[in-house]
Amino acid sequence: MPIASLRLGLALLPLAVPAALSLEPKDPGSNARLVIVYQYPVDARNAQPVADERVPALFEKLVYARNQMRAKLPSYRSQGWRGQSLVYLNFSGIAARSNLHSQPGVPCTTADWQFQGYQNRPAMDRGDFCEIISAIHTGQALADYPDIYPDESWFLHGTDGRRIVSLSGANSAAGYEYRTNPAAPGWREYVARRALRELSGAPNHQAAVGNYPPAQTGIFLDNIERTLHKFNRGLFVPNGWPVEYRDAAGQPRHADYAAAIAGLAARTRAVLTARDPNYHLWGNLGDEQNWAPYQAGQSLNGAMIESFALRWGGEGPWSVPVLLQQLETVAHWQADKVGSLPRQAMLAAPTRFGDPAKLAREARFAYGMYLLVAQGTDTVFNLHDSEGGGQRYERFLNCPDYALELGAPTGPYSIDPGPANGLPHDTVLRRGFSAGEVVVNLSQGTASLPGMQEACRLD
């Protein structure tokens, strides 16, 4: 961990919530590199969509699924957008009709063949699931990929032999989602080629990004996880550890699952860069513990922490050890490279917009945490609403702090030492910029910025 100064840290007082802003917030300055995550941005102050012509001035990068990308990217480009545009893909399952029996060996019906999967999954075309099932039954290859022969190893199974099904989309409109096995070579290849299709196009399938330059495009893989815990939380049927990742004693083999996902990411990167070395591959690694296994593998150009600085559901700052781990992880990550390209980071912080005091304090704290590790365009930030426990990524606040021009950083962040007598003390971190110093008190969950603006608020 970088340590460059020796100063005693003092607790910072909580922010008071100021009177209503008299002016609209200014556009973000050069230090605030913001990112659109998953959904069209809506101004949380007036519930109005952010106009397409405002997007180039407000944001640095965006992550959209195929339909969203095709709907918005051409308009953004006509307004001057040149930011990195990443196509979202979730490789962890294949959608099918909810009444399709989950026991292997049951064929698709005519109605099943008409089902179209989610547009943010590799198997997104109408009939994709049934084409895979039919190929398993007949031993034939896929029409689009005559060298790929699906088999039952593409799916994860319970101890009773049934394919594991997610209940999150269990209705007649959305269908069930059958969980896939990231270790299956054929499934890995299928995911990689479908990812490439979104960037470069294919017969009868226009690229999601159109003709946007490869250096400014890429794939964003969601749910790159290191454990199997989701399988034992009542989210799937049958519930419990998949037999593919269960040891002789019935215990989960988390490391093998993480390695399988890393292998899928590596294959995806290989297929993308074989077509064009400028394509980027990003991943949502969930929390600060997931990053280390991917540094040696050189699979990802960029990674996301989805609960940076603040806990899931808007439950306030993480503990000091977790905060330090997050900062150290990002700092080490960004010091590494993928080939000749630096690694990039996406730091998303959930808070509750409906609580004025909480929003004012936590918005500044999370942004201060971001500034401790920000590296220009290689590090982007997102503050989103978690009111009610959800992830309201569409709700955008242009916080006044974003307009601060701090100039270039003068070095890495440092940690103030504790008192020599070993008494309890706050953990305070600092980072110098040409226009002043950012000070973040991890123990108090507060931050001080040079020339601070009014606090972030809804009204």
* Encoded amino acid at 402, one letter: Y
pLDDT at 201: 95
- 366: nearest Cα among 332, 318, 427, 398: 318
What's residue 99's pLDDT? 61
Residue 426: which of 412, 440, 413, 414 has the closest Cα?
440
Q: How far apart are CA 157 and CA 120, in angstroms?
A: 23
pLDDT digits (tens, 9 = 90+) for 104-134: 777 888 888 988 888 899 999 999 999 999 9
- What's residue 289's pLDDT? 59
pLDDT tens string 280-307 = 999 998 765 556 655 544 688 999 999 9
25 CB-near residues (< 8 Å, 6+ apart): 398, 399, 400, 402, 403
**pLDDT tens sequence across 294-353:** 554 468 899 999 999 999 888 899 999 999 999 998 998 888 877 777 789 999 999 999
Report the C-alpha gap between 189 and 277 in whole angstroms: 18
What is the predicted pLDDT for the residue at 195?
98
Q: How far is residue 269 from each of residues 193, 196, 221, measured CA to CA in Å?
A: 10, 9, 11
DSSP readout, 54-87?
GHHHH-SEEEE-HHHHHHHHHHHHHTT--SEEEE
The predicted pLDDT at position 2 comes to 42
pLDDT of residue 101: 62
Where the chain has pLDDT below 50, the residues are 1-23, 170-172, 296-297
